[in-house]
Amino acid sequence: MSQRGLFYGWVILAAAATVVAIGQGALFSLGVFLKPLEDSMHWSRSAISVIALINWMAMGAGSFFWGAVSDRLGSRAVTIAGGALLGLGLVMSSQATALWQLHVSFGLAVGFAAGAFLTPLSATATKWFTTNRGLAVGIVSAGGGAGILLISPLVRWLTSAFDWRVAMLVLGDLAWLVTIPVALLIRNAPGEMGAVALGGSAAAHRDYSTGQVLRAPQFWAIALTHFACCAAHAGPIFHMVTHAIDQGVPAMLAATVLGVSGLSSIAGRIGCGLIADRYGAKLTLIVGLALQAIMVFSYLFTHDTWSFYAAAVVFGISYGGVMPLYALVTREYFGERVMGSAYGAVFLVSTVGMGIGSWAGGWIHDALGTYVWLFISSAAIGVMAMILALTFRSPRRAAAPAPVPAAAH
């Protein structure tokens, strides 16, 4: 569909990236809130990290739920509902006086709400584009990097100028003001509107039901790779700010380190999407996972501000670059019809890894007084993710119709 010569799919990508920026920025802001919560509420890092564990598991459940709903109702309604819940969860979090209240408001509500964005909107992007699909999904995923880049320093500045409660309240208002109006730009897949996706018809795929997806060995290969990938980078990302502060980096600069990783992850997400369009998602993913493992290990040798910035740039490219590729391999193998459910289920498994990795970082620090073993174990898990990605098989295409035999004479 075009509007004044503009293919509407590009509007879809801009709107989706904006919404994902708010959702992912809110999720990752918990890493910026970690030190202020520790100092003002006197909670341990492992106790606060439980919020992240709940956060990511709720996002995983939300991704599967919202993805299935979007297959039936479209992504616009799902995005509006998610935006309303995200703002409510953040506003409620600003009023919390006990840790269990943050478990409910930030952990459950914010996490479940954020699940309404990345998975359904990535699925929508794959329906609007048949060529340059890697670029399309990369742009949607890049919204997450933009959210980290913009929201992390904003949260740190608001916390320094006022306190963490004001920062959460402003973030909640921002969620309402941005996601709900922007969601109105989201439209159904082009085929349902009498339009054609950019690139024309997609290659035929074997038709899967959601149940068949969940029973397929290839689903579990993709899901477990995504799990290990997220378990590898979750701890280093979530504890990036506090680790930098522990090493003597000023708090505001430490928050901008996380922002820099978000900025470079934008380049990684879009760049790897383009590379995947040319060389294939599997090969691009394997290389990206290898680089991610190397960069996690490099944090053992990172101790000053400039080394943190340098590591954040390359680490951001690696962890950002691999993220859109899981949507591509899921779409390549299982097709379009159940894309929301299939990718939602993959993402559900992956968020368990995000939650465990984030929580484990806090537990390891409290138990051992250092993040050294976090980086060693995360790098090893990252290597495991790369090995799992080697098991991916080629996608199955639908069988061509058999030729009709000529009538006998």
Q: Is 256 domain-assigned?
A: yes
Q: What is the mean pLDDT of each run of 10 residues along the chain (409 residues)?
A: 68 94 90 88 87 88 85 87 96 94 94 89 83 84 85 91 94 95 84 52 60 86 94 91 91 87 88 88 93 95 92 93 87 76 84 88 90 95 95 61 44
pLDDT at 375: 95
pLDDT at 312: 93
Taking Cα atoms as reference points, which of 322, 282, 281, 319 lies closest to residue 298? 319
pLDDT at 323: 86
Say how far apart CA 160 and CA 229 lie, in whole Å: 33
Beta-carbon neighbour count of residue 98 at 10 Å?
A: 10
Instruction: Provide the domain limits for residue 140.
Output: 2-199+207-389
Q: Is 168 domain-assigned?
A: yes
Report pTM. 0.73
pLDDT at 387: 95
Domain total for the chain?
A: 1
Taking Cα atoms as reference points, which of 339, 337, 289 lies closest to residue 317? 289
* DSSP assigned state of 3: E
Task: Annotate 185-217 with b (16+ C-beta within 10 A) or e (fewer).
Answer: bbbbbbeeeebebbeeebeebeebebeebeebe
Q: Is 409 domain-assigned?
A: no
Q: Is 405 domain-assigned?
A: no
3-state secondary structure of 2: strand
pLDDT at 327: 83
Q: Is 370 domain-assigned?
A: yes
Per-residue pLDDT tens digits for 255-269:
889 889 888 988 998
141: tokens are 């995923």
What's phi and psi for 116, nearest 5 deg? -80, -5
Where does residue 248 rank: exposed (0-12), middle (13-18), buried (19+ CB within 10 A)? exposed
Per-residue pLDDT tens digits for 19-35:
999 999 998 888 889 88
Provide the CATH number for the domain around residue 190: 1.20.1250.20
pLDDT at 335: 75
